Amino acid sequence: MLSCIVLSDSHGRIKNVEKLKPLFEENGMVIHLGDGSSDLRLFAREDPEKCIVLKGNCDFSYGMDEYVLEAEGVRVLCCHGHKYGVKTGLSRLVARAKELGCTVALYGHTHRAFNETVDGVLCVNPGAAGDFVKPSYCYLALHGGKATAVIVEF
């Protein structure tokens, strides 16, 4: 089983990201979906094998545009989501996931947590780790060809 902590949209609120550091250490992977990608830079230096960092529309130099994680028989599209118009719907994101053979699509950008299957693709937005009122992240478990996602407020 691969357990992952997925966060997005921390927007420089390092204190919120630091609260999650014990979870980063306990889990197999940490995924930052952009807009504050540099907030994970220190942990990524300490343990680069555990980190996947994506670039959002507010990030200018650090992170990848898109990444496909393949683990435990599951293919996961990781992106910020702005290039797929996720604020107006998930059809383009779902189409891209299917094009890449992914059954899971992780995205951010909207600052709204979301965890539902759309046209056969599990679409997960962890919400905004940088939110002042209700910051959240996602715990994602991959095992035996299946994915389970839980949104957690902190």
pLDDT at 61 over 90: no
Q: What is the mean pLDDT of residues 17-24?
A: 95
- The mean pLDDT of 16-32, rounded to a whole number, is 96
Domain extent, residue 21, equals: 2-153
Report the number of distinct structural domains present in the chain. Answer: 1
- Return the CATH number at 96: 3.60.21.10
The whole-number pLDDT of residue 134 equals: 95
pLDDT at site 38: 93
- For residue 113, the model assigns a pLDDT of 98
Measured between alpha carbons, how far is 52 from 113 in angstroms, rounded to an integer?
20
Q: How confident is the model at residue 69 (pLDDT cuts 50, 70, 90)?
A: very high
pTM of the model: 0.97
pLDDT (tens digit per residue) in 98-119:
999 999 999 999 999 999 999 9
Q: How confident is the model at residue 152 (pLDDT cuts 50, 70, 90)?
A: very high
Average pLDDT value for the chain: 97
